[in-house]
Structure 1
Amino acid sequence: MTHMIIAGEAPQRELVQGLGGDAELVQQLEADGYSGVRFELAREQLWTYAVRALTGMMRNGSIAASSRAGIWANELKMLERDRDLRDQLALETVIAVDAWWFGEEALGLNAWDPAKGASLRTYFMGACLSSGFPNVLRSWRRKRLKSEAASARHLERIHDSADQSGLEAVILRAVVREVLAEATLVQKSICGLIYTQDLTHKEIGKVLGNRSAAAVGAQLNRLRTKVTRLVRIGVLDVPTEYLASAGAGSAVRGVN
């Protein structure tokens, strides 16, 4: 069943009211056979609460301490900056937990014990933080790293390309090798996507784990600044025209 959450839209009745009324509500839901209007409304309210709570925790970084996800520092920055990514991971988390919490046997509802002092909201959030979000984050991370690695490999094979010939090819391949030696995996990935697929910053951000266009641009600026500095102090031997224009540098456009 598909559920729709409309931000800012208040439900007609607030069924999930906290520990005091939750026990009675669960009894009513059980009597209803965990189906019907009341069941779907309670389900929707828990969804809405959890999505808002999760996106807020991702935005302020508290998700790192509150969940068992083992979030990396760069991932926290991505979550802080990217609203679409927060919304995506929050919804995927709630959908994953919903499958067993409200499923045919309503395992989550049946496991809830008001005597332990946690409200339905708290108990549902606990499931989201302990199992739902960590699994969703790991899945997103695997896809992101796989995409980054694949894009980086594309760029690292540029020097074997037959698109250029003669002296131009020799110079271009040497430039690419020197630039790649100074680039991070993410920067290699971005440059690879620019070279192989001619994607915009926004499109690249979506491919590489829902980064924002600004984050992609910032990565390229850091690489360009680093390479330019190394050229100036003589560490890198990159002809100026390969940094200043796209001429021979469709391969190095990412750092222009």
Structure 2
Amino acid sequence: MPDTALADTDEIQRSVSEAATQDAQRITEDAAAYDMLAAANFSGVAWELMADTLATYAYPVTMNWLYTGEIVALCAARQRPVTRAPHDWDALMADRDEREELVCETIARALRTFREHALIEGRWSPEGGASLKTYFIGAVLGEFSAVYNRWASERSRRPPCIPDGMESLQALPASHRTTEDEIIGRTAVRTFLVGITDETTRTAVVLSMMGYSRQEVGEHLNMSAAAVTMRLSRLRRKRPPHQSGPPPPPESPDPSADKEARG
């Protein structure tokens, strides 16, 4: 009969050895990545490639934590509490677009913080225990509460939208106002809008079709120009080719959105 205790001991030793090998490999890879970034002064193509790698890693992790609510406890553990009002959180859980905007903005802010503090100022090192990716996730958690709290504040100031997306446009500047018939037939507009389930997105579409810039639409909706651009781009990607009605506003360059996106 085999000695179970001895077999268990051998398995533990193998696991420890494998973990040590993986840690050594990770340290070597992170050190090489750091040296490459340092040689490029943490900028240019080298930084862009690293930023893309970190963002790709952090996005699904953060989206999952946000959806499950685990991110609230994780932020609290880092002394970055999230001021979570039930009605705001319920709205966020019901709208993936809103969650995606929060996560993307959080990651963008975390990348700037990580580059400045962890890399340029040297607060991270390969021998410090945490991998590059793990340390970056910490930066994401450090930024989330500020992004969420600002989103909740802006959401409370958003103007109401009626179900078909044609909210009270009379209050908008007269220099931009045109009749719906001058843009496209009223029936076609409503046919297209009825397929957009999110009221804020419908409003952004209407205003964009009327000639407002992304910055102006964002100011009306109390959101950033980059967030408006993201919503309209997602709408274009999701829209089936056979769907009737006018297409989403063209993705022509919007200087205000580009400037904000570059941050």
Which of these two proteins has the greater Rg computed from alpha carbons? 1
